[in-house]
Amino acid sequence: MKNQKVMKAVFLLVCLVLAVPSMAQFNLKKAISGATKMAKAVTLTDEQMTEYVKEYIAWMDEHNQVCADDNPYTIRLKKLTEGLGDADGIPLNFKVYYVTDVNAFACADGSVRVFSSLMDIMSDEELLGVIGHEIGHVAHRDSKKGFRTVLLTSALKDGISSQGGKVAALTDSQLGDLTEALVNARYSQKQECDADDYGYEFLKKAGKNPWAMALSFQKLKELQGDAKTSKLNQLFSTHPDLDLRIERMEERATGEGIEKPVAAVAE
């Protein structure tokens, strides 16, 4: 079912459904409604694309349970991301979705959403690594380019036409096409490695320990090898080899004389 899939290109990292009755499944399928957008069938300006992204993240925040400001998950994430204000001029904002999926994603507008179930299985350093990588895609405009491509080739291909400069909101079918395309979208190996490098420098400049990058990849490899998380194999088949990514980040941190977090050494 499409509402059980988590977007990979623009919204991605780990998709795993856990049996936690108190949480809702991450909600993707319902249509965006009640708004108009500036667009054309075959072209999309930066301003128009920005409106699509803005409405999309607003819809997701509305249709997924966002943890309140006084929720322990929110308090933890706020403390963790203190000092992470912007990515190459793009202002960042962070929220936690209280959902069963194990995931995190960053949108082209700088909206970063971390899922509570991911926070349950990752240390602070591991979470920072995931966040740093996703922010790398935002800073390099990979997320923006990917979203634009998907809109033009999927959601907009079914005849959304300009009417006095405005068009109707995406239909349920079009949103389904959009979600499906995002799930199957791909970043190049260079884009992935560049996002890793950006995440490393981004965290270091913000006063965070950049060992977080290597530690997050180590955790992802652990999850990938777990029989209970076999669904991760298809997702990670599109990423550069995790061993290589771990080695690159470890060598960089070690070469710069940066001390590995105590908790990670103890493990």
Number of Cβ within a 10 Å radius of residue 264: 16
> DSSP 3-state assignment of 160?
coil
185 close to 151: Cβ distance less than 8 angstroms = no
State how far the Cα of 53 lies from the Cα of 88, in Å rounded to an integer. 18
Active site annotation includes 134: yes
d(CA 180, CA 200): 30
Using CA atoms, how far residue 219 sits from 118, 121, 126, 251, 262, in Å, is 11, 9, 7, 17, 16
Q: By the 8 A CB rule, do 105 and 13 touch?
A: yes
Query: Which tokens is 71 given?
Result: 């929720």
Q: Tell me the C-alpha to C-alpha distance, in Å, between residue 36 and each of 53, 112, 157, 166.
A: 13, 25, 17, 6
* Closest alpha carbon to 95 in 123, 124, 74, 72: 74
| Residue for token pair 């960053």 | 106
238 touches 186 (CB < 8 A): yes
Catalytic, out of 134, 192, 256, 259:
134
What amino acid occupies position 26?
F
Phi, psi (deg, nearest 5) at residue 26:
-55, 130
Instruction: Give the residue numbers annotated as catalytic, written as ranges.
Output: 134
